[in-house]
Amino acid sequence: MPKAADTTPVPDAIEPVARNRRARFDYEIIDSWEAGIVLTGTEVKSLRNGKATIGDAYGIIKDGEIWLLNLHIAPYEQGNRFNHEATRTRKLLMHGREIRRLIGAVERQGLTLVATEIYFKNGRAKVRLALGRGKKSHDKRAAMREADDKREMARAVKVHR
């Protein structure tokens, strides 16, 4: 008798939706956190279709809560009049102690909350927030030079094998 397919959920199954690859180039990442996002139904459906742009998204702290700005989630194609506004401000869900720690870092140290990734974890939409310090242009040039050097070394090793 054939055995039935195992349908047990994989723990911490992560489905990536969008990544901000430029964040590591523009910011020196100090620490990162995972936060839930408060979304409407059409936003979730659009995210599941991969229709999100996270390049300009950043977090702010207002009245003891964290809000995500400039996250663009395209309107859902079958959403008709119940569709959402594409770049509305969205509330993030985090523990109080994490928020207090972020408040201290953002207000006292002048750091920025940058959204680096959006994904689904066990069916729930999550965003990875990174605490970062903006890089100067000479730091960016050094990072580009370092990446070029690594690429050249990899090519040289590959040719000599």
CATH number of the domain within which 111 lies: 2.40.280.10
Tell me if 79 is assigned to some domain. Answer: yes
Tell me if 2 is assigned to some domain. Answer: no
Q: What is the pTM of this model?
A: 0.74
Overall domain count for the chain: 1
User: DSSP H helical segments within 2-160, as ranges?
Assistant: 23-26, 41-48, 96-109, 137-160
pLDDT digits (tens, 9 = 90+) for 8-45: 655 667 888 888 888 887 888 888 889 999 988 888 88
Tell me if 147 is assigned to some domain. Answer: no
Beta-strand relationship, 65-69 and 52-53: unpaired
Tell me if 58 is assigned to some domain. Answer: yes
Which domain covers residue 27, as residue numbers?
14-135
Give the model's pLDDT for residue 10.
59
Tell me if 123 is assigned to some domain. Answer: yes
